[in-house]
Amino acid sequence: MNSQELIARLRGGERRALARAITIVETGGPAARELLAAAYPYTGSTHVVGITGPPGAGKSTLVTALAQEWRSRGATVGIVAVDPTSPFTGGAVLGDRIRMQALGGDPGVFIRSMASRGRLGGLARATADAVAMLDAAGFAVVLIETVGAGQGEVDIARTAHTTLVVEVPGMGDDVQSIKAGVLEIADVFVVNKADREGADNTVRQLRAMLHLADHKPGDWEPPVLTAIATAATGSPAIVDAATRHMAHLRDSGQAAERTRQAAERELAAAVQELALERLRGPAWEQFVARIAARERDPYGSAEELFGELGPT
Ligand SMILES: Nc1nc2c(ncn2[C@@H]2O[C@H](COP(=O)(O)OP(=O)(O)OP(=O)(O)O)[C@@H](O)[C@H]2O)c(=O)[nH]1
Ligand SMILES: [Mg+2]
C-alpha cells in the first residue's frame, strides 16, 4: 500500500491503517517521511494537550477521565502515552492498558503507547509525528502523557498547545523542586489525589509560586485546579480550562506564532535528518576516528562532507 492510500484509509476511519501509520513514523526513515508528506495537508486542526508530572501522580488515570469528559462533549480523542525510560513498550504501558480500559471499545478513542527506540531525532520527534497521524485521522483532541519534567518532556510539551502539569498533595518543601522548567511549560496545574490530606496546601503553594512569576497584562494565567482522577472529579473544569487556553492562544495570535515556530522546528529537524542520512557514507567512520584522535576538527570535517555532496 502506498502512502497516499494509507493516509486515505486512516482518514476514512480505519484503525488498522492508523496503527500502521504510527508504527511507520515511529520507525523513521524515508517511509516515514513519505507518509508525513502525504498526511501534512490534513493536519493542523487537532487540539494537542500534554499531561506531565512525577511518576505515579495519576496521569494515566487523569488522561482516562479527561478523555471520557471530552467524549461526553462529542469530541474524538487520541491518546499517546510516552515512556522515555523504556526501550520497549514495557510494564508501565501494560499498567496504562488496564488504567485506560474504561475507554476500550469506543471507536472515538485511539490509544497508542510509545517508547524510545533510539530513533534519530529522539522520542519528541517520534511523538510529534504520531500526533500528526492522529491529527490527519481527524481526532479533535490528542492527549500526550509523559513522565517528569526533564528536557525530553519539555520538548514533547512544545508539541502540545496546552500543557497540564499534574502534582499531588504532600509536596511540602519540595514545591521548590518543581519550579525549574515546569513553571514555563504549565498552562494548567492540576493537583490530583485531592482526596488526600494536604491538597489545599499544595494548591495554595502553587498559587503563591505563580503569583511571584513574571506576568504581563493579557498573558494567560495558569489556573490551579484539583482533581480526584479515580472518581473523575474535576474533569469538567480541567477540560474547560484547556479549551479556554486554546481559545486564548487563537485570540492572542500565539497559536499562529506557535504554528510558525513548530514549522521551523520541523524544517530544521527534517534538514538535520536528511543531511545525516546523506552524509553517513563510507567516509563517516574515518572522519569520526580522526576527529576522536584530534587529527581533524568537527566543523572542518562537516564542511568537507557537505562539499563531497557536490552542487545540487
Ligand atoms: N487516592 C487517589 N489515588 C489515585 C488518584 N488518581 C490516581 N490514583 C492512583 O495512583 C496510582 C498511579 O496512577 P497512574 O494513573 O498510573 O499514575 P501515572 O502518573 O500515570 O503513573 P506513571 O505513568 O507510572 O508515572 C494508581 O494506583 C491510581 O489508582 C486519585 O485521585 N486519588
Ligand atoms: Mg502513566
Site to substitute for ligand 1 among 51, 52, 60, 228, most atoms within 8 A of C-beta: 60
Q: How far is CA 69 from CA 145, 163, 264, in A?
A: 17, 17, 34
Ligand 1, atom 9: closest residue by C-alpha: 58
pLDDT at 311: 63
182 — pLDDT class (breaks 50, 70, 90) = confident
pLDDT at 285: 93
End-to-end CA distance of the chain: 31
pLDDT at 281: 84
pLDDT digits (tens, 9 = 90+) for 93-132: 555 666 677 788 899 999 998 875 555 457 788 888 999 9
pLDDT at 105: 82
Higher pLDDT, 77 or 146: 77
Is 167 found in the same domain as 103?
Answer: yes
Q: Phi and psi dihedrals of 151, rounded to 5?
A: -60, -40
Residue 37 counted as domain residue: no
pTM: 0.87
Residue 198 counted as domain residue: yes
Average pLDDT over every residue of 12-32: 93
pLDDT exceeds 60 at position 8: yes
Is 284 found in the same domain as 260?
Answer: no
Ligand 1, atom 14: closest residue by C-alpha: 58
Higher pLDDT, 181 or 211: 211
pLDDT at 176: 53
Is 159 found in the same domain as 83?
Answer: yes
Site to substitute for ligand 1 among 230, 233, 238, most atoms within 8 A of C-beta: 230
- Give the chain's domain count: 2
Contact by Cβ (8 Å): 97, 68: no
- What separation in Å is there between the alpha carbon of 161 and the centre of ligand 2? 20
Residue 31 counted as domain residue: no
Residue 26 counted as domain residue: no
Is 205 found in the same domain as 76?
Answer: yes
Give ∠ CA 60-114-10 in degrees, rounded to 5. Answer: 100
Question: What share of the chain has pLDDT > 90, as a percent?
Answer: 59
Is 147 found in the same domain as 90?
Answer: yes
Range of the domain at 287: 280-309
Residue 170 counted as domain residue: yes
Domain with residue 198: its CATH number is: 3.40.50.300
Average pLDDT over every residue of 158-176: 79
pLDDT at 250: 95
pLDDT exceeds 80 at position 302: yes
Residue 17 counted as domain residue: no
What ligand is nearest to the CA atom of residue 148?
1
- Lowest mean pLDDT of 92-96, 134-138, 290-294, name the range: 92-96
Ligand 1, atom 28: closest residue by C-alpha: 58
Is 167 found in the same domain as 137?
Answer: yes
Is 120 found in the same domain as 180?
Answer: yes
Residue 65 counted as domain residue: yes
pLDDT exceeds 70 at position 149: no
Is 128 found in the same domain as 104?
Answer: yes
Query: What is the Cα–Cα distance from 28 to 119, expressed in whole angstroms?
Result: 7
Is 304 found in the same domain as 231?
Answer: no
Is 161 found in the same domain as 296?
Answer: no
- What separation in Å is there between the alpha carbon of 71 and the centre of ligand 1? 21
**Residues at CB less than 6 angstroms from ligand 1:** 55-61, 92, 95, 99, 147, 192-193, 195-196, 228-230
- Lowest mean pLDDT of 30-44, 193-207, 260-274, name the range: 260-274
Higher pLDDT, 216 or 290: 290
Query: What is the Cα–Cα distance from 237 to 227, expressed in whole angstroms?
Result: 9
What ligand is nearest to the CA atom of residue 192?
1
pLDDT at 99: 66
- What separation in Å is there between the alpha carbon of 63 and the centre of ligand 2? 9
Residue 217 counted as domain residue: yes
Is 207 found in the same domain as 95?
Answer: yes
Is 131 found in the same domain as 99?
Answer: yes
